[in-house]
């Protein structure tokens, strides 16, 4: 330990951090997990898939079968681009969305999180501008920060990323003498906003990206978890050279397997493979082969339907509980798929300051500020309906409504919310 200029004690390694580490910080979600995972707390915070809906015995059989058929490959290092048989299977998984590709266009990664990391690693220098939605996925913001990107939020409306706001932001960035390098977007069942871009909106966004020579990262891990039967066609299905598509098995099989993928334009794909090798040598052969065996031998679409029905019931439960219990002035989005609804609180409420009180009332959520790189989001919060059973969701919303009533009283009395 040494003393810094103010005389306080500092671990010398803190001063030795690389500049990129200074912008790395624990997400508000992570800080919450410790408290929110206590059984008495209803957690509407983390976006954990409901893995209890998987048949563990069936899965044991799949794992056994991988080890019986080819343990030598499963337990060995593999290719940096991923297992070729799985890359073929990925085509089947994307088929319902209308997305086509060649297996050579696909890079298998340790979850789609790693795909996002590799894309930014290959494409961005420190200070490069990345456009993101307002709000945006906390895990992607973490990647952009880690590579010291200049993150700019673009407003959303009820159809998602707003094209006029996108044009305005690009103009503003140009006026500063910079170029926009990337747009990161989640067009379907947005995390955390719970919004889906209609096709027309997607085309408008791609057209702007074309004009301005911006590469789009299209993050689509919830693609198949649609509640109204509509599977949305990705931007990448029409625009393979403009868009890098990221997919994931986390929400449709298991997050613990850590398998995702990117479909990338040729020149980018080659670098992604090299970056993948530099980062992890290769994605896990064992879990890739488990996913592939599962997709080839089990009725995976029936399992997706099971997940979808569970999440739809939970979405319905959340929405009617919000209708029944939320005080006037609170607004929320109505997701047509995925895991999340985004709440906007009335003026004066501060979701970040209110969180400790909520945890005392045994309910947890993620404050909106976690989904912005620029301090916005204090009047917002994200509710996840994926994990708690329906009766717990209702209980959680009732508790949240009580917290908000107390907060409203404090606001009336003192003009500020309590914390
Ligand atoms: N993108 C989004 C929008 C997500 O919500 C998540 C997971 N919460 C990911 C990427 C990362 O998923 P994976 O488990 O495939 O890394």
Judge contact between 225 and 335, C-beta under 8 A.
no
- What is residue 299's predicted lDDT score, i.e. its pLDDT? 97
The residue among 37, 63, 33 whose CA lies nearest residue 287 is 63
**Ligand 1 binding pocket mutation candidate from 27, 107, 110, 112 (most atoms within 8 A of CB):** 112
Pick the atom of ligand 1 nearest to 260's CA: 15
The residue among 321, 296, 306, 199 whose CA lies nearest residue 251 is 306
Max Cα separation, the chain?
Answer: 70
Pick the atom of ligand 1 nearest to 248's CA: 15
Pick the atom of ligand 1 nearest to 112's CA: 15
CA of residue 210 to ligand 1 center, whole Å: 26
Structural class in CATH, domain 69-297: alpha beta
**What does the alpha-carbon distance between residue 160 and residue 202 come to, in Å, rounded to a whole number?**
9
Q: Which residue ranges of the chain lie beneath pLDDT 70?
A: 1-10, 27-33, 415-419
Averaged pLDDT score across all residues of the chain: 94
CA of residue 82 to ligand 1 center, whole Å: 19
Pick the atom of ligand 1 nearest to 114's CA: 16
Pick the atom of ligand 1 nearest to 339's CA: 5
CA of residue 118 to ligand 1 center, whole Å: 14
CA of residue 61 to ligand 1 center, whole Å: 27
**Ligand 1 binding pocket mutation candidate from 114, 195, 219, 221 (most atoms within 8 A of CB):** 221
Q: Give the residue, by CA position, lying nearest to ligand 1 atom 5.
A: 191
CA of residue 267 to ligand 1 center, whole Å: 24
Structural class in CATH, domain 23-47+302-413: alpha beta
- What is residue 1's predicted lDDT score, i.e. its pLDDT? 47
- What is residue 26's predicted lDDT score, i.e. its pLDDT? 73
Residues flanking ligand 1, CB < 6 Å: 47, 111-113, 137, 139, 186, 191, 219, 221, 248, 250, 255, 260
SS (H, E, C) the chain: CEECCCCCEECHHHHHCCHHHHCCCCCHHHHHHHHHCCCCCEECCCCCCCHHHCCHHHHHHHHHHHHHHHHHHHCCCCCCCCCHHHHHHHHHHHHHHCCCCCHHHEEEECHHHHHHHHHHHHHCCCCCEEEEECCCCHHHHHHHHHCCCEEEEECEECCEECHHHHHHHHHHHHHCCCCEEEEEECCCCCCCCCCCCCHHHHHHHHHHHHHHCCEEEEECCCCCCECCCCCCCCHHHCCCCCEEEEEECCCCCCHHHCCEEEECCHHHHHHHHHHHHHHHCCCCHHHHHHHHHHHHHCCHHHHHHHHHHHHHHHHHHHHHHHHHHCCCCCEECCCCECCEEEEECCCCCCHHHHHHHHHHCCEECEEHHHHCCCCCCCCEEEEECCCCCHHHHHHHHHHHHHHHHHHHHHHHHHCCCCC
User: Per residue in 352-386, pLDDT tens?
Assistant: 999 989 999 999 999 999 999 999 999 999 999 99
CA of residue 219 to ligand 1 center, whole Å: 8
- What is residue 338's predicted lDDT score, i.e. its pLDDT? 98
Work out the angle at residue 285's Cα, subtended by the Cα atoms of residues 282 and 289, and round it to the nearest 5 degrees: 140
**What does the alpha-carbon distance between residue 141 and residue 371 come to, in Å, rounded to a whole number?**
8
- What is residue 37's predicted lDDT score, i.e. its pLDDT? 77
- What is residue 419's predicted lDDT score, i.e. its pLDDT? 46
Pick the atom of ligand 1 nearest to 258's CA: 14
Q: Domain map of the chain by residue range?
A: 23-47+302-413, 69-297
Pick the atom of ligand 1 nearest to 115's CA: 16
């Amino acid at each position: 330990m040494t003393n810094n200029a103010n005389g306080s004690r500092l671990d010398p390694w803190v001063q030795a951090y690389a500049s990129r580490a200074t912008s790395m910080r624990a997400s508000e979600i992570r800080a919450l997990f410790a408290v929110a995972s206590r059984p008495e707390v209803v957690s509407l915070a983390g976006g954990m898939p409901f893995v209890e809906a998987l048949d563990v015995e069936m899965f044991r059989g799949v794992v056994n079968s991988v080890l019986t058929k080819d343990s030598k490959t499963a337990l060995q290092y593999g290719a940096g681009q991923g297992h070729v048989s799985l890359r073929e299977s990925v085509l089947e998984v994307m088929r319902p969305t209308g997305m086509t590709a060649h297996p050579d266009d696909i890079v298998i990664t340790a979850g789609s999180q790693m795909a996002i990391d590799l894309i930014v690693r290959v494409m961005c220098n420190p200070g490069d501008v990345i456009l993101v939605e307002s709000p945006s996925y906390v895990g992607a913001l973490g990647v952009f920060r880690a590579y010291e990107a200049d993150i700019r939020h673009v407003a959303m409306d009820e159809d998602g990323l707003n094209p006029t706001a996108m044009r305005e932001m690009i103009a503003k960035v140009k006026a500063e003498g910079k170029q926009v390098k990337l747009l990161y977007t989640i067009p379907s069942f947005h995390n955390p906003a719970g919004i889906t871009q209609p096709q027309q909106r997607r085309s408008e966004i791609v057209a702007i990206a074309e004009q301005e020579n911006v590469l789009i990262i299209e993050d689509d891990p919830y693609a198949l978890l649609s509640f109204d039967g509509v599977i949305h066609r990705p931007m990448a299905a029409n625009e393979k050279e403009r868009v890098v598509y990221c997919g994931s098995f986390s929400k449709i099989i298991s997050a613990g397997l850590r398998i995702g993928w990117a479909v990338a334009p040729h020149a980018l794909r080659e670098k992604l493979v090299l970056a993948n090798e530099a980062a992890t040598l290769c994605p896990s052969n064992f879990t890739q082969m488990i996913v592939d065996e599962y997709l080839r031998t089990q009725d995976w679409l029936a399992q997706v339907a099971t997940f979808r029905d569970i999440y739809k019931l939970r979405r319905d439960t959340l929405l009617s509980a919000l209708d029944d219990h939320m005080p006037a002035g609170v607004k929320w989005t109505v997701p047509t798929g995925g895991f999340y609804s985004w709440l906007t609180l009335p003026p004066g409420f501060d979701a970040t300051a209110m969180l400790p009180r909520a945890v005392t009332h045994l309910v947890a959520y993620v404050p909106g500020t976690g989904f912005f790189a620029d301090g916005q989001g204090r009047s917002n919060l994200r509710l996840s309906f994926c994990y708690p059973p329906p009766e717990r969701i209702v209980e959680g919303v009732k508790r949240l409504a009580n917290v908000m009533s107390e907060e409203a009283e404090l606001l009336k009395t003192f003009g500020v919310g309590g914390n």
